[in-house]
Amino acid sequence: MIVQEQVDLLYGREVVDRDGEKVGSVGAVWSDGAGQPTWASVKTGLFGLNESLLPLNDATLQGDRIVVPFEKAAIKDAPNVDASHDEPLSAEEVDLLYQHYGMSWDESYRTGRSSTATAAGGYTGTENRTPGTAVAGSRKAAGDDAMTRSEERLNVGTTTEQVGRARLRKYVVTEQQQVTVPVTHEEVRLEREPITAANRDAAYAGPDITESEHEVTLHAERPVVKTETVPVERVRLGTETVTEQKTVGGTVRKERIEADLPDEARRTID
């Protein structure tokens, strides 16, 4: 049970139903004549002034959340009030609320009277309430009644992924090469030498008249082709980082607030 001393802790708190599903946040709290919190309004949407009402008799404050024994759908379908007016609930409004939640006046009254809390400043009303009367007590608005506008933004980052593989493979090819090589060879040349005083003795050393032959062996160079394997270079794989600009996009949502002001056109805040 939520007692009078916890009233100031209720405003803006998240309300969850009996299944743990979020319903909304508390916008206002109504108390009975003894200051015991009995009803709260729940903001179940982003816009609009109407708020759904729910009883606090069996609600509990658990950490930062208020847990109520009702389903979310039942709370959202409950009779609502105009959040712009600071007025007590009328008898007709209270009757509708009790019928909606299947509650009786006697049950609610006994629950409220079981609290030992006394009336505190900011909550006024009659000490005894009889069935059929309005829920007395003033409504306290949450915070400064400001509305928070939110929007989504793109958070862009990078991730590294594998895009390909590279490898080195060595294979053998055959090609024709032509190289010019200088070669030499011997040719026969007839040389005639006249008899002179210098060679006279050699000329007369042999017989006078004879027959003879003389051979000369000729030599020539020819190209000889051989191959040898020599290293010419080394090849390896390396990587380098290249930076480029890419444009990405996405869809984001934004909240806009419409204000209906007296004697003014509707104003949109974005």
Cβ-contact 136, 33 below 8 angstroms: yes
CATH of 4-148, one of 3.30.110.30, 1.10.760.10, 3.20.20.150, 2.30.30.240: 2.30.30.240
Tens of pLDDT, residues 168-224: 999 999 999 999 999 999 999 998 989 898 888 888 887 878 888 889 999 999 999
Q: Which two tokens stand for residue 250?
A: 């996405």
- Say whether pLDDT at 227 is over 70: yes
pTM for the predicted model, two decimal places: 0.41
Average pLDDT, integer, range 95-120: 58
State how far the Cα of 53 lies from the Cα of 74, in Å rounded to an integer.
Answer: 10
CA distances from 86 to 29, 55, 139, 140, 227 (A): 11, 18, 6, 8, 107
At 91, phi and psi to the nearest 5?
Answer: -60, -40
Domain range summary for the chain, segments of one domain joined by +: 4-148
